Amino acid sequence: MLDGRRVLLVISGGIAAYKSLELIRRLKERGAQVRCILTRNAQEFITPLAVQTLSGEKVCSDTFSLTDEHEIGHITLARDCDLVVVAPCTANLLAKMATGLADDLASTALLVTDKPILVAPAMNFRMWNHPATQANLATVRGRGAAIVGPNAGMLAENESGMGRMSEPAEILAAVEGILAAGPLKGIKALVTSGPTYEPIDPVRFIGNRSSGKQGHAIALALARLGADVTLITGPVALPNPAGVTTIHVETAREMLGAALGRLPVDVAVCAAAVADWTVSNASREKRKKEPGSPPPAIELVPNPDILATLSEKGGARPRLVVGFAAETEKVVEHAKAKRDRKGCDWIVANDVSPATGTFGGDFNTISLITAAGVEEWPRIAKADVAERLAWRIADVVKGVSV
């Protein structure tokens, strides 16, 4: 049930808008409160009166409406909800979301909201297949939006192909998947992500190429299943995942300090690419190039191992500690040895040799090493790895042994 959950439904201008009326009805039947925004084009397909009658709420469509702004401002409208659903999402609205355009109430609300977003695309198959649309979709998904559909089937103008909006029942299932109390409700999770930067002097550092994509996706997937998630991340070019408490750090020591500060937790997933060494003779001042003198020597000392530390944390040890092993050869063999060495429960091993495109890319090929053995996963998107891992975690923290 969705009792008391608040959904903001953004309806944009496509023929599939008629299905949104059915979606409103079904959301209401499940106990959700549904507020709707109609774009100008959506009103060519369905009327505000129909939407208002079904939702039982005033329909908003105009950013600068004096009455709307008086009753509920557009910022409040976008934030005073538990989930924003965009159904149908036209190619045009998807492009606005990807680029951050805010030229009407719908796009403004989508730019201003801090809540999870579920997108149900609907468009002609040529628009759907266009690289621009696919790039926009990847951007929006990369920022944490969930996507439902589209399906293949009959489209407008007697054409068929990929682009039909998901059926109301499918969208409802996706909404419930996000909003209903998930299997990880009541579970506290800690995720480390991204690289660490170890300073050489105030302007230079030793870092690595970790993008943080996998760790951030895991934090989001755990939160979607209802966990109370803290993400501790090194410097990355990614937005903070929706619904996750994100702590930004630079060095391995800061990451360890932040992690210890969040204990006790039920689950820890260490996906960060922590620098193995830090610079012991880091300079407070910028090191100068002295003409004729040799380059300065950089002295390295080992960094604390966050994964190993969490794995041995005595009474405060998380029930499940998961580490990563990025390997370029003998992936499983090295990962098994790492699991023993670090004392963690699972190792998510991946092949990061350059040919795989894993580092910085969107796909990953995983071997999951547990006490029971090795599971080989197919090559799937990092977001799907995250979701699969989150469900595996949900299975074990509900009582099954690890």
Point out which residues bind ligand C5P (CB under 6 A).
192, 252, 270-272, 274, 303, 305-307, 323-325, 338
Told to judge if 208 belongs to the known catalytic residues of this protein, a careful annotator would answer yes
Which residue, 5 or 382, is less far from ligand C5P as judged by CB? 382
Shortest gap between Cβ of 348 and ligand C5P (angstroms)?
Answer: 8
- Which residues 6+ apart lie within 8 Å of 210 measured at CB? 194, 195, 234, 236, 272, 273, 359
- Give me the catalytic one of 41, 124, 136, 208: 208
Cα distances (angstroms) measured from residue 347 to each of 106, 295, 333, 367: 43, 40, 11, 8
Instruction: Compute CA distances 264 → 184, 190, 224, 256, 261, whole Å.
Output: 16, 9, 21, 14, 9
Contact present, 127 and 163 (Cβ < 8 Å): yes
C-beta pairs of 98-101 under 8 Å, 24+ apart in sequence: 98/135, 98/136, 98/137, 98/139, 98/140, 99/136
Hey, what are 324's tokens? 């990563």
Total number of residues shown for the chain:
402
- Quick one: 242 or 270, whose CB is closer to ligand C5P? 270
Query: Shortest Cβ distance from residue 18 to ligand C5P (Å)?
Result: 49
- C-alpha neighbours within 13 Å on the C-beta side of residue 299: 4
The DSSP symbol for 251 reads S
CB of 188 to ligand C5P, least distance (A): 18
Q: How far is the CB of 254 from ligand C5P (least distance, A)?
A: 12
Minimum distance between the CB of residue 46 and ligand C5P, rounded to whole angstroms?
50
Q: Which is nearer to ligand C5P, 118 or 252 (CB)?
A: 252
In angstroms, give the least distance from the CB of 219 to ligand C5P: 13
Cβ closer to ligand C5P: 20 or 303? 303
For ligand C5P, the closer of residues 172 and 307 by Cβ is 307
Task: Name the residue among 178, 181, 121 with its Cα closest to residue 151.
Answer: 121
Angle, CA 79 vertex, CA 73 and CA 84 arms, to 5°:
115
- Name the residue with tokens 């709420």: 57
With respect to ligand C5P, which residue has the nearer C-beta, 165 or 190?
A: 190
Asked whether the beta carbons of 279 and 299 are under 8 A apart, the reply is yes
Residues serving a catalytic function are 208
